[in-house]
């Protein structure tokens, strides 16, 4: 225990005296967060709209398609979901409107009532969605029903509008947990790889092997250090990000910090294990760097760190939803943005758990001291 | 158990292969307590492999290595706790001060030491707040000897302690080795400098192709050679080029 403590203290000292590591762990993610936050990509995209299609017939599918695209022009960014899902998205800032298409839509002789709910804080988007919905409903009705003009759309379809006040804080609040998750990946994977591979190639690990403790104590000390760094880093990024970008964390729930700590440690364990696997396999820095980058770079862009997964094509998100960083970023986002408790994050915890097991199995198979 | 006359190191018919390459091919020797035992030989002769087997860093294919009555293969941890090791290639943590490095290694042996006192024994107390990367080659070697001393070892292994050092730094290391021996430690030293072996070692084993081809005191080995009728090609001069260099540049260390 005393030996383990001595090694942990020593490696903490080494870490915090390494200005470069601190830069990549703290200042670089903060910089990205602030730059993206100030640019505020909210206004650039077509509005996200959640649609629940209870009818699911030719007519309703034609309507959904028309809402998304007219000719070559992209209109609304549609994501399909259940009633609960689309309202949840709306409430927490994932979308700007929730549209419910009733089961009797498109059935001749029936009077169908389309319900649309807006976030009242986004009037500009409401106007866009409202206009497109009105026009497209009209156009599709005429085309599909193939009825003469005198059968007026008003007699068959009504659009009722309502409002909620969403709790979402927009792109800025959305961005912070994603960047914090990315920073956990960078610290866990990259700093473990670069410290261990350097110690290995310089012979530091070999020199430790000549002492009675063996190198496993050293490894335990290193991993404890990284776990401490990962948690501190998450706190700093979330707190500074929230202050600078002016958003609240976890809907004011204090338990959010505890939940974030747990997720940061799980994410840390996962990426540290991946780091061990890479540094076990690589003989020197030259072989370690490309492997580490091949693992981290795609995840930075495919795991919904900078942009929501919904802006990417479906064939890609089908796969990227299973990436370890996606689970971590989604979980941290649910906690900080929606104020969710960790007990409700079953999918994310299960996903992280499976990845942790995979990573540790690979790490124990791959790790070599020399 | 161990009387003072028992050898502190016993190497018995040690063999070691790396793939098809035979590194050590039946090496046996004893080292007495308080002795400085030198292993000489060209690069690749098997000196370092033999030393690493004694240190518990590698397992021999066959044969026995015993340190102070403990079989190294059976209980490497106990052996590692008793000995001090300077490897041929040493590296220590960057970003730590010298006192912190010495203190950390002392804790790994659960030993209580005053890091500054240990550093002053190798003449590095004036650099106690420096980091490893800032040291000169000779200072790095002396630090690695300091680290090898933290557990007050009964045997100290020095693998090529002066390779790559300038003559001043080399003499500094020699003085240090002599001082450590006077404190009662047993020392095993590998080198390919004959002058170093003659200066420091009580007995020498000459190693070639994984075998000991000659073993004895430096004087005895020279006498054996002369008995064969050997005549040096050049008359031995009163001084060497080393002496010329030291006379011109002074004996002070350049640090």
Closest CA to A310 of A116, A95, A52, A122: A95
| B235 — pLDDT class (breaks 50, 70, 90) | low
pLDDT greater at residue B101 or residue A175: B101
Candidates A20, A202, A207, A284, partner chain B, best to mutate (most B CBs within 10 A): A207
pLDDT single digits (tens) A326-356: 999 999 998 988 888 888 889 999 999 999 9
pLDDT single digits (tens) B139-163: 998 999 999 999 999 999 999 998 8
A201 contact B CB<8A: no
The answer to whether residue B24 scores a pLDDT higher than 90 is yes
Arithmetic mean of pLDDT, B74-93: 90
pLDDT of residue B23: 93
The residues spanned by each domain of chain A are: 48-164, 170-366
pLDDT single digits (tens) A209-266: 889 886 677 888 888 899 999 999 999 999 988 888 878 887 778 888 999 999 999 9
What does the block give as tokens for B242? Answer: 């080393």
pLDDT single digits (tens) B205-228: 999 999 999 999 988 888 888 888
pLDDT single digits (tens) A38-97: 776 655 567 788 999 988 888 888 888 888 887 777 788 888 888 888 888 888 777 888
pLDDT single digits (tens) A151-194: 667 777 888 888 887 766 677 888 889 999 999 999 889 888 88
The answer to whether residue B1 scores a pLDDT higher than 50 is no
Among the partner residues B56, B89, B104, nearest to A6 by beta-carbon distance: B104
pLDDT of residue B201: 94
Give the chain A residue nearest B103 (alpha carbons).
A6
pLDDT of residue A151: 63
pLDDT greater at residue A75 or residue A370: A75
Q: What is the DSSP letter of B138?
A: H
pLDDT greater at residue B190 or residue B253: B190
A158 contact B CB<8A: no
Question: What HEC string does chain A produce?
Answer: CHHHHHHHHHHHHHHHHCHHHHHHHHHHHHHHHHHHHHHCHHHHCCCEEEEEECCCCHHHHHHHHHHHEECCEECCEEEECCHHHHHHHHHCCCCCEEEEECCCCCCCCCCEEEEEEEECCCHHHHHHHHHHHHHHHHHHHHHHHCCCCCCCHHHCEEEEEEEECCCCCHHHHHHHHHHHHHHHHHHHHHHHHHHHHHHHHHCHHHHHHCCCCCHHHHHHHHHHHHHHHHHHHHHHHHHHHHHHHCCCCHHHCCHHHHHHHHHHHHHHHHHHHHHHHHHHHCCCHHHHHHHHHHHHHHHHHHCCCCCCHHHCCHHHHHHHCCCHHHHHHHHHHHHHHHCCCHHHCHHHHHHHHHHHHHHHHHHHHHCCCC
**How distant is the Cα of A16 from the closest Cα of chain B, in angstroms?**
9
Does A211 contact B78 at a Cβ distance shorter than 8 Å? no
The answer to whether residue A296 scores a pLDDT higher than 70 is yes
| B2 — pLDDT class (breaks 50, 70, 90) | very low
The answer to whether residue A149 scores a pLDDT higher than 70 is no
Share the mean pLDDT of chain A.
Answer: 84
Helix (H) or strand (E) holding B199: helix B194-200
**How distant is the Cα of B74 from the closest Cα of chain A, in angstroms?**
14
pLDDT of residue A160: 87
- The ipTM, to two decimals, is 0.85
Residues of A in contact with B85 (CB under 8 A): 207, 210
Among the partner residues B57, B78, B96, nearest to A210 by beta-carbon distance: B57
A139: number of Cβ within 10 Å: 15
Task: Please state which architecture CATH assigns to domain A48-164.
Answer: 3-Layer(aba) Sandwich (3.40)
């Amino acid at each position: 225990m005393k030996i383990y403590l001595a090694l942990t203290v020593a490696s903490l000292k080494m870490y915090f005296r390494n200005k470069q590591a601190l830069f990549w762990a703290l200042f670089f993610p903060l910089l990205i967060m602030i730059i993206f936050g100030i640019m505020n990509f909210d206004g650039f995209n077509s509005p996200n709209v959640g649609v629940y299609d209870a009818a699911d017939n030719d007519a309703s599918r034609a309507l959904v398609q028309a809402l998304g695209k007219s000719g070559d022009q992209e209109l609304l960014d549609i994501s399909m979901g259940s009633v609960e899902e689309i309202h949840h998205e709306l409430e927490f800032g994932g979308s700007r409107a929730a549209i419910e298409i009733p089961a009797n839509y498109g059935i001749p002789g029936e009077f169908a009532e389309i319900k649309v709910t807006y976030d009242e804080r986004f009037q500009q988007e409401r106007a866009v969605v409202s206009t497109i919905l009105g026009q497209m409903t009209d156009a599709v009705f005429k085309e599909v029903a193939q009825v003469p003009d005198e059968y007026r759309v008003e007699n068959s379809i009504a659009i009722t509008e309502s409002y909620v006040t969403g709790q979402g804080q927009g792109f800025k609040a959305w961005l912070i947990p994603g960047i914090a998750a990315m920073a956990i990946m960078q610290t866990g994977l990259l700093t473990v790889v670069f410290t261990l591979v350097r110690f290995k190639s310089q012979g530091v690990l070999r020199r430790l092997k000549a002492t009675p403790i063996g190198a496993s104590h050293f490894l335990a000390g290193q991993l404890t250090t990284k776990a401490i760094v990962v948690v501190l880093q998450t706190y700093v990024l979330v707190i500074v990000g929230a202050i600078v970008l002016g958003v609240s964390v976890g809907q004011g729930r204090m338990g959010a910090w505890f939940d974030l700590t747990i997720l940061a440690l799980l994410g840390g364990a996962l990426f540290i294990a991946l780091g061990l696997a890479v540094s076990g396999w690589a003989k020197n820095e030259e072989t370690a760097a490309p492997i580490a980058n091949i693992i981290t770079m795609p995840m930075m862009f495919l795991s919904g760190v900078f942009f929501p997964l919904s802006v990417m094509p479906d064939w890609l998100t089908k796969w990227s939803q299973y990436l370890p960083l996606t689970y971590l970023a989604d979980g941290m986002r649910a906690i900080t943005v929606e104020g969710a408790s960790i007990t409700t994050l079953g999918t994310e915890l299960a996903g992280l758990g499976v990845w942790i097991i995979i990573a540790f199995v690979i790490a124990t198979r791959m790790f070599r001291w020399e | 158990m161990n009387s003072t006359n028992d050898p502190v190191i016993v190497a018995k018919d040690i063999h070691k292969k790396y793939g098809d390459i035979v590194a050590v091919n039946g090496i046996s020797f004893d080292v007495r307590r308080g002795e400085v035992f030198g292993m000489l030989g060209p690069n690749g002769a098997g000196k370092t492999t033999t030393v690493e087997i004694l240190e518990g860093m590698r397992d021999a294919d066959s044969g026995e290595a015993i340190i102070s009555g403990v079989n190294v293969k059976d209980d490497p941890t106990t052996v590692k706790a008793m000995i001090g090791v300077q490897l041929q290639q040493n590296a220590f943590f960057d970003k730590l001060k010298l006192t912190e490095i010495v203190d950390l290694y002392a804790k790994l042996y659960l030993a209580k030491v005053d890091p500054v006192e240990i550093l002053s024994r190798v003449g590095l107390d004036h650099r106690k707040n420096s980091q490893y990367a800032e040291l000169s080659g000779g200072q790095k070697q002396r630090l690695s000897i300091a680290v090898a001393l933290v557990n007050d070892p009964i045997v100290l292994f020095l693998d090529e302690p002066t390779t790559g050092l300038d003559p001043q730094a080399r003499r500094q290391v020699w003085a240090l080795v002599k001082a450590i021996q006077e404190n009662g430690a047993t020392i095993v030293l590998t080198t390919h400098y004959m002058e170093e072996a003659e200066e420091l070692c009580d007995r020498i084993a000459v190693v070639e192709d994984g075998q000991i081809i000659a073993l004895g005191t430096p004087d005895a080995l020279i006498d054996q050679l002369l008995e064969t009728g050997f005549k040096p090609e050049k008359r031995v001069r009163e001084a060497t080029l080393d002496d010329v260099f030291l006379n011109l540049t002074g004996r002070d260390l350049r640090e």
